[in-house]
Structure 1
């Protein structure tokens, strides 16, 4: 968007050339008519003939510019994904795959830029050639059309001066045209972005009383883009107040999308979600504002020292605060640049807990912390005896060893619920959950060993 805004700003310097160029061309032709008479029509005819040629070249240039901006958007999007997930990319050695994707997009971009440059070169060549061509043709016609027409020094130098005056507006036209073409593409893109439809919030029903469930999904289907297939499909799920519900599934099964649908961040296809009470959300990628640790946790709320210290201890932050200069008053850089991933995740979790909401949506908050810290956080916060006991908790997790302690497990696959029930019930079914647990056990050892029970 910043590039598009810059293009619109650049075109403003050419606005006055639109009318001044026309005025200069008109006056130049008028005075040339006074000097050379009807012979000037031959030169004007050449200019008129070149107008459709320039129009075709300009239209093609605009089409290329539209394609180029789309390729640029794709490249910037994938570069943002690479930079935000660079650790994962390095862990799995995905650099060659992503490098090839970026290079392919860059090749397309450079190919379009080359074609656009060639088009612009032709436009510039024609518009620089026009005054010379017009001069030669006009003088030739003037001298040949009538034997009485004498091209003396007075007429020749006066006409050449007028042709030179004509040269400037004609030579400026390519830049004006190019700038207007690019600005028109940018204007359309900005208009599409700023005039885009808002998300329809009607699919999320919020109730305060006379409803016995904390969250209810009713035939809920949601998508990230109205033009694509539903990411979450026909989900029916009832979550009672005070329950700890774990959402599990393979990578890409729709766990994070299910949480986003609850928050109203997805397009509704059909069905609805009913929510009773306030929601606190802990994202997978922690969000940290530029300020002190205390400011990040309080997030505008009044300080309750006893509760504040209790949350710091439960989130295993006390030891970190002892190391940091200034303790909880230590300044955090932009996006938490001077904190580790685990510290940022725990501060994000502490902030959500401090808000004392009715429902907690936790998108894999234990993924960025060590195993022993994860166990401490689960026992002190999320578990049956934690700070959030009595609160409704939806926990997206890959930490299978905590699942025996949750009230209900929801197994997702391809955006739909495959199974749901208690830990023992799902094990007895020997379905999708049992397969996930078997895979996990092979990699890490028995569940009892992982939990230390």
Structure 2
């Protein structure tokens, strides 16, 4: 727990004290309501008949019994509905406050023009587009056109605005000025920080989509997950993943996140540095099989953000971002001779090698689904002794155990 026990204990105690205070107040109100419910009829009768007696009005038995019957009829609905009315008014007040806070939120200025049908040659067109995170400008005066079926590479220093560019295309940040047009029906996004939820590997990849066996296998192979699944043993892609992927390596989480994006079969793929968590050999193989010009996505529009700039030699178009501006734009792919010289060393790597190999024993140890162990035979005496002598019984439990043994012998 990294020495967080005391701090967490204090936080739990403070929360518990607040809860106890709320329970105490609720109990007081409940007791007050019950007291008023039982005392209401005598008090109302005392006030009514006492007032008549004080003003000198004669108390007739017929009037008294009629009044008591009326008070009894009125008390039941009033005392049962009054707490309910107070409860519903309190809930309505909380709900109204929540709605008011939501309605007062700043409206996201997203003026993207989405066209479902393909028009022209470009999937994305930005014309003098400027974007901001709330009040902080992040991208300024962008002019960019991305053609259908091409690979756009995005490079730049940390904080240059590469991830913000993808967020702008997704519509997650404010469009301050200019225009952005998208002529795609669907977008698939692979974030820089892999998102993994607690379920099987297969569920993390499918993400609720129907199973297409052929496409699923091709995605698994393209993302170099086939060897990992073999190392997981018979359980394969049905292995349970812990919270946030605790039983996976960083490279495995990145490749599962990338496989989810590939399986979505979208028109536009936004890939935010998906190769950073894997070693160079596996990164080269994944690029060739998933992202590059001869990959599984070769006919799709792809935008790749990466710091591994040698991969951008195979991009159809490359931009360099700096301080929120596009400083350089390369629209031509290098010659094949240059590409072959760049990639010769990476191509010589073993195709069966991944960034993280795991044997079956380690896979079983990391898996959440553990095989249960059982023992046949009678229960040992030390188990009974520990059971009966555990607090708070202790020696009294030991004496009780002796009496039980004597009783069973007598029977």
Contact 1:218/1:272, CA 8 A, preserved across alignment: yes
SS in 1 for 2:131: strand
Q: Where does residue 290 of structure 1 map in the other structure? A: 198
Q: Deviations over 1:307-336 (max 9, x none)?
A: 111111110001111122511000011111
Asked if residue 267 in structure 1 is aligned to residue 182 in structure 2, the reply is no
Q: Where does residue 160 of structure 1 map in the other structure? A: none
Within a 5 Å distance, the mapping from 1:134-153 to structure 2 comes to none
- Gap change, CA 1:291 and 1:200, over 3 Å in 2: same
The one of 220, 224, 249 equivalent to 1:316 is: 224
SS in 2 for 1:378: helix
Question: Cα offset for 1:189?
Answer: 11
SS in 2 for 1:253: coil
Counterpart-to-counterpart distance in 2, 1:374 and 1:410: 21
- Gap change, CA 1:305 and 1:452, over 3 Å in 2: closer
Question: Cα offset for 1:190?
Answer: 11
Question: Cα offset for 1:200?
Answer: 3.0
Question: Cα offset for 1:14?
Answer: 6.6
Within a 5 Å distance, the mapping from 1:233-244 to structure 2 comes to 233-244=140-151
Aligned length: 261
Within a 5 Å distance, the mapping from 1:112-151 to structure 2 comes to none
SS in 1 for 2:276: coil
- Gap change, CA 1:6 and 1:240, over 3 Å in 2: farther
Q: In proportion to residue count, which structure has more helix?
A: 1
Within a 5 Å distance, the mapping from 1:421-440 to structure 2 comes to 421-422=330-331
- Gap change, CA 1:310 and 1:234, over 3 Å in 2: same
Question: Cα offset for 1:273?
Answer: 1.7
Aligned-residue CA RMSD in angstroms? 3.3
Counterpart-to-counterpart distance in 1, 2:305 and 2:101: 35
Counterpart-to-counterpart distance in 2, 1:414 and 1:450: 34
With normalisation by structure 2, the TM-score equals 0.57
Give structure 2 stretches of 5+ with no counterpart: 1-10, 33-95, 335-340, 349-411
Q: Where does residue 369 of structure 2 map in the other structure? A: none
- Gap change, CA 1:323 and 1:261, over 3 Å in 2: same
Give structure 1 stretches of 5+ with no counterpart: 21-186, 426-445
SS in 1 for 2:228: helix
Contact 2:316/2:333, CA 8 A, preserved across alignment: no
Contact 2:109/2:176, CA 8 A, preserved across alignment: no
Contact 1:401/1:451, CA 8 A, preserved across alignment: no
Q: Where does residue 129 of structure 2 map in the other structure? A: 220
Q: Where does residue 390 of structure 2 map in the other structure? A: none
Contact 1:314/1:380, CA 8 A, preserved across alignment: yes
Contact 1:404/1:423, CA 8 A, preserved across alignment: no
Question: Cα offset for 1:6?
Answer: 9.8
